[in-house]
A = this chain, B = another copy of it.
Amino acid sequence: MSRRTIRLRLDGAAAADRSYAIVIGRGVIDALGSSCGGAAARRAVVVADAAVAPTHAARAVASLTGAGIETTLLVVPAGEASKSATHATRLWSDFARLAVDRHTHVVAVGGGVVGDLTGFVAATFARGLPLWQVPTTLVAQVDSAIGGKTGINLEAGKNLVGAFWQPRGVFADIDTLATLPDREFTSGLAEVLKYGVILDAEFFAWLEEHAAAVRRREPAALEHIVERSAALKAHVVERDEHETTGLRAILNYGHTFAHAFETAAGYGTLLHGEAVAIGMAAAARLAAALGRVEPDFVARQDSLLRALGLPVTAAHLSWTPPAADDLLAIMGRDKKTLNGQLRFVLPTRIGHVELVDGIDAALVRRVLES
* Residues of A that sit less than 8 Å from B by CB: 10-14, 16, 18, 85, 88-89, 92-93, 95-97, 99, 101-102, 120, 123-128, 149, 151, 154-157, 160-164, 241-242, 244, 333, 335
Contact status B13-A241, CB under 8 Å:
yes
Bound Cα distance from A97 to B157, whole angstroms = 10
**CA–CA, A18 and B163, complex, Å:** 17
Given A12-B13, A13-B13, A13-B241, decide whether A93 and B124 contact each other with a Cβ distance below 8 A: no
Q: Which residues of B contact A96 (CB under 8 A)?
A: 154-157, 160
State the CA gap A99–B18 with chains docked (Å): 33
Min CB gap A127→B, angstroms: 5
Tell me the dominant secondary structure on chain A's binding face. mixed
Q: How far is the CB of A302 from chain B (nearest CB, A)?
A: 34
Q: Name 17 interchain pairs, CB-CB below 8 A, sorted by A.
A: A13-B18, A13-B241, A14-B241, A16-B244, A92-B154, A92-B161, A93-B154, A96-B154, A96-B155, A96-B160, A99-B333, A102-B335, A124-B163, A126-B160, A127-B151, A127-B164, A128-B242
Closest to A120 in B: B124
12 additional A-B residue pairs with CB within 8 Å, beyond A123-B163, A127-B151: A13-B18, A85-B85, A85-B88, A95-B160, A96-B154, A96-B156, A96-B160, A124-B161, A125-B160, A125-B161, A127-B162, A128-B163
Q: How far is the CA of A12 from the CA of B89 in the complex (A)?
A: 30
Which residues of chain B are within 8 angstroms of A164 by Cβ–Cβ distance? 127-128
Q: How near does chain B come to A70, taking the closest CB pair, in angstroms?
A: 13
Q: Which residues of B contact A13 (CB under 8 A)?
A: 10-13, 18, 241-242
Q: Give the contacting residue for A127; candidates B97, B128, B149, B155; CB below 8 A.
A: B149
Given contacts A13-B12, A127-B149, whether A92 and B160 have CB atoms under 8 Å apart is yes
Q: Are B156 and A93 in contact (CB under 8 A)?
A: yes
CA distance A164 to B156 in the complex (A): 26
Given contacts A10-B13, A92-B154, A124-B124, contact A163 B160 (CB under 8 A): no
CA distance A149 to B161 in the complex (A): 18
Q: A34 to nearest B CB, angstroms? A: 23
**Is the CB–CB distance between B93 and A163 below 8 Å?**
no
Which 3 residue pairs spanning A and B have beta carbons closest together? A96-B156, A85-B89, A127-B162
A128 cross-chain contacts in B, Cβ below 8 A: 163-164, 242
A88: chain B residues at CB < 8 Å are 85
A14 neighbours in B (Cβ, 8 Å): 11, 241, 244
Quote the shortest CB–CB distance from A320 to chain B (angstroms): 28
